[in-house]
Amino acid sequence: MIAVLPPRGGSPPAGDGAGARGFDNVVEELLLTPDINVNTMDGGVDLLAKPIYHAGSAGVSIVRTIIEAFPKALEDYESSYNETVLLRAAEDGSEEVVRYLLSLNTTPINYQDRDVNQHCVDPEIMKALVAQPDINVNPRDLCTRTPLASAAFNGEAELVKLLLQRHDVDLFPVDNCGNTPLLLAAEEGEIHIVNMLLKVPSTDIWHRNQPNITALALAAESGHTEVVRRLLDPDLKVTKEIIWDAMENTKEVLVAIRRTPRKFLNSGKRRVAQERRMEEALKLLSAGAVICQKFAAEGCNVAINYHLSRGVAEDLASRLTKEYSVKSIVLQGDAELPEDNQRIVQEAKEQLSGLDIVIANAGWTRFADKRDIYDLSFEEWDKASYRLAVLVRDANCLQGWRVNVMSHLQLMQAAKPIFEKNADGGVYIMTSSIAGITTDGSSMGYSVSKAAALHLMKHLALSVGPNIRVNAVLPGLMLTDWGKQFGESGIEWHNQKAILKRETDLEDCANMFVTLAKNTSMTGQQLVVDSGLAMGRASPSK
């Protein structure tokens, strides 16, 4: 790279080609030759500057030879080209040159060029630079981002870790768009970096950028479900406003994509994949609320039962009332307790001035080896089940065979007198699972309890007709917060086994509840919505 181009119409100077061949002895010989013109120009870059300008290609030996022969080479280069050799070497990714220059202790380490850039992309170079105690770790580039913010945005987890170890690093730099490192990492789906930044004391997790968007909303819009799930951790104290903003923003993106003709979108396959990821993020956010939204959209007043998540239930109720002009209430209760099941039904009837539909749609299970008959204790067998939520699932559920099977009987016993007084009777719909008709599911106890609940559903339908209808919806794997626990390999296994080669769509499943509520000719039926997963396949070992 020490070679220079010949002047137009002339012959090349004596030094042509030496650096390109990379021979250090040739370089040294050139520099010691009395009649060599070291200031020969090549488009404004002289003979000495050329290998420095291309430090990454020239190599440390050539740069060392030049600097040792001309001690003022570094200073001259800086004054002539408005950047340091260190900056050039860092930009070119030459770790050896950078480490050599740092060992000299003579080159400015905090220099920024005329474009306010401080280029460093190589992780090893960044390690060397960050290790310098006097280096400024908080300079800002043209986007007003610090190295920490840039590293978070670019997914450089190791560099983020190193910077966070510096006592002088700005932990909460805000760029000119109002973004913090956490927001940037969330938008890019960098879950490891998000986890690191969340551990920083006093982190402003719910900071909003200039468009008034949070990290949760950015992750949801971009389809990064892993980051969304992490930010929904109750310990992070996400508020109702933040959750609903994220849901609203994600819906707007989905609507915009779906309304845009495919020919106007970049890369059809890529856009379809992005839309799919966005849908998954929306499902993760709204799994517990989507059935409520479906019925509210039909004009139904709803009673939402929760066990622990009062804030989430109240937020949902408020939004349903606002968006659909329906009455929406919340009722606390533990479906494992018979007295709570009775009370929930009575309070729903009193506060809504009637009761027409009861939906059981919530639960818990423990992953266990389905081939090991000892893997679940007798207590867990007694408690291997779903907790009720009248219209919304609560993620913090209790265990309970008593819930998964007996709660349905208790709810029907409480609702039957009310339904019988209605002119049109009543509807009871339970959320079951294809685990009730296969050996699939997270555990033997889960699968068996689901099968028992389905048989109870048939007996209830037989017992309470003709004015009360009882049916069940059996979803396959849905990418809800619970479904994600199968992990990537488990989800992929299910998708490959499914005839439609994909997971169950939550919207499709929720629509089935509305269909069953409207259909007056069905009772005692189990409707499978599983993308063909239950058909003719064995369950994998866990």
CATH class of 287-529: alpha beta
Say what the pLDDT of residue 191 is: 92
Higher pLDDT, 456 or 238: 456
The span from the CA of 474 to the CA of 476, in Å, is 7
Query: Where does the pLDDT of residue 57 fall: very low under 50, low under 70, confident under 90, or very high at 90 and above?
Result: low
Say what the pLDDT of residue 496 is: 85
Checking if the pLDDT of 541 tops 70, the result is no
Say what the pLDDT of residue 461 is: 96
Cβ-based neighbours of 27, under 8 Å, separated by 6 or more: 2, 18, 19, 51, 62, 65, 66
Say what the pLDDT of residue 71 is: 63
pLDDT tens for each residue of 328-354: 999 998 777 888 889 999 999 999 999
Phi then psi dihedrals of residue 57, to 5 deg:
-95, -30
Tell me the β-bridge partners of 430.
360, 472
Higher pLDDT, 436 or 2: 436
Domain ranges of the chain: 1-134, 137-286, 287-529
Checking if the pLDDT of 94 tops 50, the result is yes
Say what the pLDDT of residue 478 is: 81
Q: Nearest CA to 48 among 10, 99, 88, 11?
A: 88
Say what the pLDDT of residue 399 is: 45
Instruction: Name the range with the highest mean pLDDT among 110-114, 233-237, 266-270.
Output: 233-237
Average pLDDT over residues 113-138: 60
Checking if the pLDDT of 183 tops 90, the result is yes
Q: Nearest CA to 158 among 125, 136, 186?
A: 125
Say what the pLDDT of residue 226 is: 84
Average pLDDT over residues 73-98: 58
DSSP 164-187: HT-TTS-SS---TTS--HHHHHHH
Say what the pLDDT of residue 344 is: 92
Higher pLDDT, 309 or 494: 494
pLDDT tens for each residue of 222-252: 878 888 888 888 888 888 788 877 876 665 5
Checking if the pLDDT of 254 tops 60, the result is no
Say what the pLDDT of residue 205 is: 93
Checking if the pLDDT of 180 tops 60, the result is yes
105-127 per-residue burial string, b: 16 or more CB within 10 A, e: under 16: eebebebbeeeeebbbebeebbe
Instruction: Name the range with the highest mean pLDDT among 5-9, 69-73, 504-508.
Output: 504-508
pLDDT tens for each residue of 369-388: 555 555 555 555 554 443 33
Checking if the pLDDT of 267 tops 90, the result is no
Query: Where does the pLDDT of residue 14 fall: very low under 50, low under 70, confident under 90, or very high at 90 and above?
Result: very low
Instruction: Tell me if domain 1-134 and domain 287-529 are identical in fold.
Output: no
Say what the pLDDT of residue 31 is: 47
Instruction: Please count the other Cβ atoms lying within 10 Å of the Cβ belonging to residue 339.
Output: 10
Query: Where does the pLDDT of residue 61 fall: very low under 50, low under 70, confident under 90, or very high at 90 and above?
Result: low
CATH superfamily, domain 137-286, is Ankyrin repeat-containing domain (1.25.40.20)
Checking if the pLDDT of 501 tops 70, the result is yes
The span from the CA of 229 to the CA of 510, in Å, is 21
Query: Where does the pLDDT of residue 10 fall: very low under 50, low under 70, confident under 90, or very high at 90 and above?
Result: very low
Average pLDDT over residues 155-176: 88
Tell me the β-bridge partners of 526.
472
Architecture of the structural domain at 1-134: Alpha Horseshoe (1.25)
- Quote the mean pLDDT of the chain: 72
The span from the CA of 20 to the CA of 3, in Å, is 6
